[in-house]
Every structure is written in C-alpha cells, then in structure tokens.
Amino acid sequence: MAKKLIALLLCLTLLCALSAECFAANCRECPCANCPCANCFAGQPESANYELKQVVVLSRHNIRSPLSEKGSVLDEITPHEWFTWTSNPGELSLRGAMLETTMGQYFRLWLEDEGLFPENYLPKDGAVRFYANGLQRTQATAHYFSTGLLPVCVVPVERHVDYNTVDGVFVPVLTFMNGAYEADLRAEIAERGGGEGLSGYSASLHDAIRLLMDVADVEESEAYQSGAYGNLLEDETVLNLVEGKEASLSGPIKTATSVADGLVLQYYEEPDELKAAFGHELSLEDWKTIGTILATYEDILFGSPSLAVNVANPMLRELFAELNAQGRQFSFLCGHDSTITSVLAALGVEDYELPNAIEPTTPIGSKVVFQRWVNEDGDSFFKVELVYQSVDQLRSIQPLSLEVPPMIVPLSFKGVPVNADGMIPEKDLMNLFLDKISMMSELEEVYTAEEQVLPAAA
C-alpha cells in the first residue's frame, strides 16, 4: 500500500512538472491544482452538482484571405509575392472552412458529453439559432460550424441584410457623437496610450513595426521608397471618429496593421515557415510581437470603455436577448474581432492571457462562450470562456476532440463576483448586461445636455 501511494505521488509530481505540455491533452482531469494549462478550466465546474442548460457563442470568423486586392497596400509595400490565397479577398479560405467544421465537431462532442444534445441531434423549432453578419466570411463560418455541430441537420443561418453587406448588429458603428463626447473619448484613448495619446501607442509598437518592416522587406519596395506610405516609424497616426461610421485610423499604425494581418494569415496558411516569413527565420515570440500590432489597432478603435458601450450596444442587446430566449439551447452569432473586442471591453472584462496564440486577444476563429449551468437547487450560474484554436492547430488543421480540445481560457468581469466554482450567478451577469446597455442612453443624455450648455458658458 505504501509503495502504491509513493508511486501515485511521484506520478502526480511528474504530471505537474509536465503540465506546460498538456495543452494537447485532455486536461479536464489534471490532478495538479495549480496547473497552468488553460484547458484545465474546460468542461463542467468542479462541483458535480451542475447541469448544462444553454450555450450562447459569440464568434469571430475563421481564416480568410486578406482584405486587400491588386494595387493595395499588401501588393505594393513589399517586393515579395504573397501566398496564393484559396478565396477571393476577404472571404473564408478553404483552411478556414475546414478549421471551423472541426471546431463545430468539438462543440458537438462536448455538448453530447454534457447531455445538452443527444447524439445526431435534430433540434426542435427555436432550440438552436445561427445568425451572422452579411459578409461571405461570417456567413460561411456559421454554415461550416453548423455542419460540424449538427451533421444530420441543415441549419439556416440568419442574414438580416443583403448578402455581402454589413449588419449593424455585428459592426461597431458609432451611433452617437458630438463635440463633448469626442473630446472625452480622445482623452480616454490618450490615457490608455500611456498619457501620450496615439504617440504613446506608436512608441509601444516601435519594435513590432520595425520587425514587421524587416520581415516584409518594406524598405526595399518601390512604393515605400517613393514615400507613398510615409515613414512607418516616425509619422503620426490619426484617429477618425464620425457618427454613423466605425472609428478608424490613418497613418503608420493602420498601414502596419494591414501588413501584419496579411503576414499572420500567410503564416496560418503556408506550411513552409520560411516561405511564410518571406525567407526570414522567426520564432513564435517574433510572430507574437507582430500580433501585438493587430491587438493594439483593435484596442485603440474599440477597447476604450466609453467608446465600447456605444459601438457594442446593438450586440449587447442581441446577446442579452439570446441569453434569455425561452426554449433556446444553443445560439451562434458570428461577427469579427472588432465585435468581440468591443463587447468584452463594454462588459469590463478583466485582463487575460492566451497561451499559444499569435493574436493576443481575439485569435482568428475565436469564440466567447456563455454557458448557463443549473445546480441541484435550480439556481442558474454562468461560465464565460474564450475558446480558440492554437497556432499549431490552425497550421496543421488538427482534428479536435474531448481528448484533444481547443484552447479554453476563463473570462471574468470587473466588479462581478464568482462563487467557489468560478461561476457567475445569473442575476449578476444579467445585471451587468442591463447596466452596460443602459449606459448608451445615459451617455447620449449627458453629452447632449453638456453640448447644449457649452455656448451659454462661453
């Protein structure tokens, strides 16, 4: 008996020591209490007295081709030839389609394992809902996910606008703007940039942009030498805030983001790592450095709380309605990285880290998963997680299963309590949504009144 106990302790010690390698394993039963593996948070809460009742997914589309066409920034700013994309500009790629189907298959296995879905589920009317932005990449992502999730059922994907046009629910458009509000937004963004505004953001990205320029050999391109794109390391970036449109940038950070986007997508698609980096040897840390350009761009445009509650308001309303839809078991809403960024910022998400990801906040194909669990007393609680495919899973199109899950990281929100199992009481999550939704009308009232008194004060 003593020998068996010693052997067990040695085994547990070894498992803890190897926990950093358990990302590719089924970590839901990992015996190490402090295991750093993100997947240890997956699945049912620690207490066995919960039953999964509902899942609402807010998804980013999967891998697409770059948004740029012939004669665009990507075409001109490097002397190299890009990967031959498998889809038209901005559309879901063949790899993206396969990856999204694989993700849908994983969710099917998980939901069957938790008892929410029976095998080969044929949902009743209203039990399952798919809704996506009108663009090809979001519509296609939702279709491919549904194929993996419900392989014997044809699921319609809602589209509330003309095909290949944008739906305001998914696109973070500024629905209100005036002078007083704009001034406060710019001050808030400046503070988030270290008190130096966009110059602070530019300074923080200096090394990342320098690396990007070296990898793409930007300074060897005729367009860059001609001055068509200015100086990516020294020029000023400009923030544009216009009612009825998305916040936008012009200048170096915008240009660098376009190039970084193309390069990261090329890395996902191109099997040869040297070819993916135009002949340069890059480590995963180098790719993560390039990924910070993408995250910073998103943070500037959609990450400020006072801006996020404005642009995310339609999606917050949609999510709240889905979370409270009678008879709904599963919902899938498919938008963009900006959709997720703005929603999480509006809700006040706590800082989080994503292991094995190039894009540090909203990886391609990532999903915010709201899970309603009910305990034996009939009380509802929520887990909120970010689910995404690792860099290796994206590049290898690795099949996913309960034994080989995607990456899963728990999310929490400022000022929102959790119970001993890391769960948010239903009333607290609903109150968070209602509070953030109501902030939009309050914001309009406050800034409209403030604008009206400014002339008199002058």
Q: List, by residue number, the catalytic residues.
A: 61, 337
CA–CA separation, 427 vs 415, rounded Å?
13
Question: What crossing angle do the helices spanning 313-323 and 337-347 adopt, rounded to 10°?
Answer: 80
4-34: burial string, b at 16+ Cβ within 10 Å, e else: eeeeeeeeeeebbeebeebbbbebbebebee
Positive or negative: CA dihedral 98, 103, 107, 113? positive
- In this structure, are residues 253 and 238 in contact, taking their beta carbons and an 8 Å threshold? no
What is the token pair recorded at 227? 């001055």
DSSP 3-state of 407: strand
Residue type, 407: M
Kindly give the residue spans of alpha helices, DSSP state H, lying in 193-283: 197-204, 206-215, 222-225, 252-269, 273-276
Contacts of 134 (CB under 8 A, 6+ apart): 159, 160, 161, 162, 163, 164, 165, 166, 167
Q: How distant is the alpha carbon of residue 310 from its chain centre?
A: 19
Contacts of 394 (CB under 8 A, 6+ apart): 63, 95, 99, 268, 364, 365
